[in-house]
Amino acid sequence: MSKLMTGAEYRASLAKRKPLRVYLNGKRVEDVVNHPIIAPSINTLALTYDMAHDAEQKELMTTTSTLTGKTINRFSHLHASPADLVKKVKMQRMLGGKCGTCFQRCVGMDAMNAVFATTFDTDAKFGTKYHERFRKFVEYVQENDLIVDGCMTDVKGDRSKSPSEQADPDMYVRVVERRPDGIVIRGAKAHQTGAVNSHEHLLMPTCTMRAEDKDYAVCCSVPVDHPNIVYIYGRQSCDERKMDTSPAGQIDSGASCFGGQEALVIFEDVFIPNENVYMDGEYELAGTLVERFAGYHRSSYCCKVGVGDVLIGAAQTAAEYNGAAKASHIKDKIVEMIHLNETIMGCGLAACAEGKQMPAGNYLIDIMLANICKQNVTRFPYELSRLLQDIAGGLMVTLPSAHDLYNPETAEYLKKYLAAAPGVTVENRMKLLRLIENLTLGRAAVGYLTESMHGAGSPQAQRIMIGRLANLKSKQALAKNLAQIKE
């Protein structure tokens, strides 16, 4: 049996890394693991480890490795059937509900499955030896229960130009030197979820490429603590509230124990040994890798359904606290929230149930349905948030600080004038309203709303794929057949 880490062991594994070059708010971070702005995102990842030991969640969180036959965390698994894919999205919903934010491991899982399949195809086409290298990397990740940061999104520079046409050639990660024992890469990856909290980076090309872009057609892995990697931590709305660790500060943060994380990751001439290189110039397969990864990741947005469950629960609680739970229009709004949330889940489950085996042996979701799932995610969470804000009322954005509730000079005023339904304490009402603020406007909204829009590709990226996969000719043939049109 391979080692399944606990949350505490995961934290200890981060502390064993070499010092990272992390910058946050204009300063270098000396203690990455315990920094108050970063710590909530580490708590979220620790939850994914602890849930693997939870009796109720073990079936979702763990599985048997197709490579070693050992028990592993599902986040490092190569999907072996449609049932595996279904369990993946059910796991993601469960975790989204537990933490109310991004748990940062889906990108690595989706990247590993896409690269595993694509290295197999690359070897078949070009006679390379990438697949066996990558298989060993996956075994290493599984055996040590590591977190992989899937790195796809380049900074892109001028979007009207291809990678090789950029005025600055570093706008896409590229190979700048080839040596007998490996390659040297340079560039940056943007919006990297959980980058600072991971053990390994898995870099992939970000778009379809042509022959002149072959230096940018690179896929490789590298430890997060490589000395030539720089991290510039992404700011989030209201993130400095996490600096206040007092009881009042915890209320004002709104679910401050958990959080997501993104970073700009700069690769400054990073050497990658040959055994960690899985594509080097095979530009013909870059688009295939991108399409597979995007498909996997777009179905993975069922994590937002778990967060949506939290929003629905918050809406019902807010209605009860306000004494409005029996109003017919409130009930109807909550029903609409449920409908939208379950529609996302239905598409995600369908994409998984229709999954097909690839030549490498692992299973790929139905790409059309995955794109439909993600297209819904770019819209429905915004409506869920609007309905929640409607039900909660304006106090969620005009609420005084919890420090005023704990201040003897102002406490009695708040207890008197912020009272609502009988039996509801003002403190509990404030806690709920801060949670709603965080979910729909604050730190968690980064992982729920903006990530719903742009994560796994912008809405237009899904619409392009939907149009490409729709097979309009066959639909036209059906219509013409019924209309008895002969051409």
**102 included as an active-site residue:** yes
Token pair for 471: 């097979």
Read off the amino acid at residue 28.
R
Q: According to the 3-state scheme, what is the secondary structure of 292-325?
A: HHHHHHHHHHHHHHHHHHHHHHHHHHHHHHCCCC
**Token pair 């560039």 in the structure block, residue:** 187
Helix (H) or strand (E) holding 230: strand 229-233
**212 included as an active-site residue:** no
DSSP 197: G
| Catalytic residue (one of 262, 282, 291, 437) | 262
With beta carbons less than 8 A apart as the criterion, state whether 324 and 330 touch: yes
| Catalytic residue (one of 193, 206, 317, 440) | 193
**352 included as an active-site residue:** no
**193 included as an active-site residue:** yes
Q: Compute the distance between CA of residue 150 and CA of residue 293 in angstroms, rounded to an integer.
A: 10
Q: Give the list of residues 6+ apart from residue 479 with CB closer than 8 angstroms, or none.
A: 485
| Catalytic residue (one of 191, 199, 201, 297) | 297
Helix (H) or strand (E) holding 460: helix 459-469
**143 included as an active-site residue:** no
β-pairing, 200-203 with 148-151? Answer: parallel
Q: Compute the distance between CA of residue 390 and CA of residue 358 in angstroms, rounded to an integer.
A: 46
Reported as half-sphere exposure (CB side, CA atoms, 13 A), residue 245 has a value of 6
| Catalytic residue (one of 102, 219, 238, 347) | 102
Q: Compute the distance between CA of residue 82 and CA of residue 88 in angstroms, rounded to an integer.
A: 10
| Catalytic residue (one of 231, 233, 301, 363) | 301
Query: By three-state DSSP, how is residue 55 classified?
Result: coil
Token pair for 312: 């629905």
Q: Compute the distance between CA of residue 144 and CA of residue 49 in angstroms, rounded to an integer.
A: 12
Helix (H) or strand (E) holding 94: helix 82-99
| Catalytic residue (one of 99, 106, 220, 302) | 106
**177 included as an active-site residue:** no
Tell me the catalytic residues.
102, 106, 193, 262, 297, 301, 303, 451
